[in-house]
Copies of this chain bind each other. A is one copy, B any other.
């Protein structure tokens, strides 16, 4: 057991915790970061595929208005490049395959009207909800007493429109509309700007990618922080007293005046708190379960779909992979298709053998991009629920009744303990940009 002391101890070496630690260090204060895993980056993770190239098996995209993560990348000398969009998108609904350009698929006019109407109605409803305080919205209790599924059921969408809406929700949230509070969903979309911004590639949250893979942001900050980052040090216990905190991790105890806790929300409940957290904060930690998402990458000698006039973007309402993107390295070699299996589809996948999942994934890619997709050179699967220090992904979510009753506890410091993590952000909640903003906000709190 080693003993260390610092002005600030940060629990969790993901993008939020590292951003916070970097800001604290820049202000001239001592900081120690305790990370449970043997790597930094949290829910961002590069996987090497040879020749010094990587694919990202966690959070990866950035886009317009995500100013803080883009500023961080610039400061770290990390560049971005556009997601591949040249060519047509593919859409499979009700077993029928269509190609289309831009963001508007060739759907029947009613289904198209549905999607347009959905965006307008949700954005209008969300206009009442301020991401800083969704619990203060007019009708907050009513909006929070229903699931998003209930609201969608009542809205009277066409079958095709509704299926595509469910796909969009699962792909963004890792959860089905039944699992989400309407109030929470409105706040989440407002934090991104609107639903279009969440779902779009060009002009939206999937517009750009990070050269070297998104984990490079965390890797570079960790390089800057050097010995201040301790890996393999899961935090088991946090003691608070008038002087500050004592944080006990495997192998090391850190005494500090302040702590910033930047772990996935349900993991807050795994720590022994002495004295106990306030009941509202503890109750919130029990009511923000991690969503479920597999990220599936198929590697090919080349991005063959580009020759077919396709850009790799696909939507398939049959699943289990419901959305795909071209995820090849900047130079287009090798070719990489990425697909997501989320929510109830992920629950079913948890009961399958790996070989069965691989077979289903390649079948999904082949349905959208032709039989050549079956001949992947490699198949890389990441199940965030299987990561003990994430327990799910991409984010923690809220069902009905949580935000209106317990939301105020989300960012409220508990004595010397401050909270970071993308779920605590009020702009781009759930995205890398939100993680960075939450880290900057928590650092400002402890420095203030």
Contacts and interface: CB of A to CB of B under 8 A. Distances in A.
A145 B145 contact: no
Contact of A145 (B149, B280, B282, B292): B149
A178 B266 contact: no
B292 A176 contact: no
Contacts of A286: 266, 286, 289-290, 391-392
A401 interface: yes
Contacts of A283: 289-290, 292, 347, 385, 392
Contacts of A266: 269, 286
A177 B276 contact: no
Interface residues of A, number: 44
A166 to B, nearest CB: 11
Contacts of A392: 283, 286
A357 interface: no
Contact of A153 (B145, B149, B351): B145
Contacts of A269: 266, 269-270, 391
A175 interface: yes
A141 B179 CA distance: 11
A294 B147 CA distance: 27
Nearest to A384: B279
A34 to B, nearest CB: 17
Nearest to A149: B145
A48 B276 CA distance: 26
B385 A282 contact: yes
Interface string A373-412: 0000000000101101001100000011110111000000
A144 interface: yes
A344 interface: yes
A278 interface: yes
A199 to B, nearest CB: 21
A117 interface: no
A391 B287 CA distance: 12
Nearest to A141: B178
A178 B145 CA distance: 4
A386 B404 CA distance: 21
A363 interface: no
A350 interface: yes
Given A147-B147, A150-B145, A269-B270, A178 B385 contact: no
16 contacts: A141-B178, A145-B153, A145-B176, A146-B147, A146-B150, A147-B147, A147-B400, A150-B150, A178-B401, A269-B270, A280-B350, A282-B391, A283-B347, A286-B392, A287-B289, A347-B405
Pick the 3 closest A-B CB pairs, nearest first. Answer: A179-B401, A145-B178, A286-B289
